[in-house]
Amino acid sequence: MKKHGPPYPNPNPLLRMTRNTFSNLFPPLLLLFSVILHDVLSFTNEPPGRDPISIDKVRGAERAVSLTSDNFDELTKGKLVFIKFYSPHCPHCKEMASAWNELADYYQQPENNKNEDILIGSIDCTKSPAGKALCGRFKIMGLPTILYGDANFGGVYLEEYRGDKSFTDFKQFASKTLVPKCNPGSLDACAADERVEMESYIAMGYHELDAKIKQVKQREIDTKAFYADQFGKLQDRYNEQLAEKTSYVSRVNDDVRMIKEVIALKVEADN
């Protein structure tokens, strides 16, 4: 009976060694390829300064209080705030970063913030979702934007800072501006007459307050109309006096011309 050999011949020893070597190298080669592919996909399409490492570095360098939609109301309640809205890859934001950090350091010193009622904060408008949500809440359109003021009632009293952006400018502005002001959340800062008026508003209901707003707005309209009428009368009087002046100057010029003509005539007669 004819014996059949193995279905496949024994591989060549060199080929067998090559296969074993490749089998041993394949896992580390695959890992290396995966790392390279991840790096390429992560950074190839990002311009300098916008890659994740650069962004994390900028965020980590912020020394002001980091605010988001999750902690804003809690951390700013009852505070006078100076808040920077920024982006980690915004050139103008980077230019003022050092001055802002210096300001944050200054107000973190107990002797410069004795009542601990001043907060220097930063909000990253590119950080999802909490940072972006907070920038949307305050309708931030350009970066950097800086808001300041009393943070009571969710920040309705905040105004935009439009000054220069050096540490000295920030510090001088903050020392003059970040002081308690009379409002429904800070009655102790009100003068006696202001407090009486504020408390009378607080005691009113919604309908009374709406009626009060309409009354004040009507008073504004009436005041503008009064001064527009006064301005019109002043303008008419000014026009009359301007016409009188023009007529007088014209008569004077005519008199001077005639006198000069007489002098010329006399000189000619004498010669």
The better pLDDT of the pair 129, 4 is held by 129
Q: What percent of the chain has pLDDT over 70?
A: 82
Q: Give the whole-angstrom CA distance, residue 145 versus residue 93.
A: 9
The model's pTM: 0.62
Could you tell me whether strands 159-160 and 118-124 are parallel, antiparallel, or unpaired per DSSP bridges?
unpaired
Q: What percent of the chain has pLDDT over 90?
A: 64
**Mean pLDDT taken over the chain:** 86
Residue 264 token pair: 């010329």
Q: Give the whole-angstrom CA distance, residue 122 versus residue 107.
A: 14
DSSP class of residue 248 equals H
Confidence of residue 243 (pLDDT cuts 50, 70, 90): very high
The better pLDDT of the pair 63, 10 is held by 63
pLDDT at 263 over 60: yes
The residues, any chain, with a CB within 8 Å of residue 119's CB and separated by 6 or more, are 65, 75, 76, 79, 80, 81, 82, 83, 107, 151
Query: Quick one: average pLDDT of 132-153?
Result: 93
Judge residue 194's burial from the number of C-beta atoms within 10 Å of its C-beta, 0-12 exposed, 13-18 middle, 19 or more buried.
middle
The DSSP bridge partners found for residue 121 are 65, 83
Strand order across the 145-150 sheet: 65-66, 118-124, 80-86, 145-150, 159-160
Taking only the tens place, the pLDDT of each residue in 3-50 is 555 555 555 555 555 555 556 655 665 666 665 555 544 444 555 567
Q: Give the whole-angstrom CA distance, residue 179 versus residue 199.
A: 21
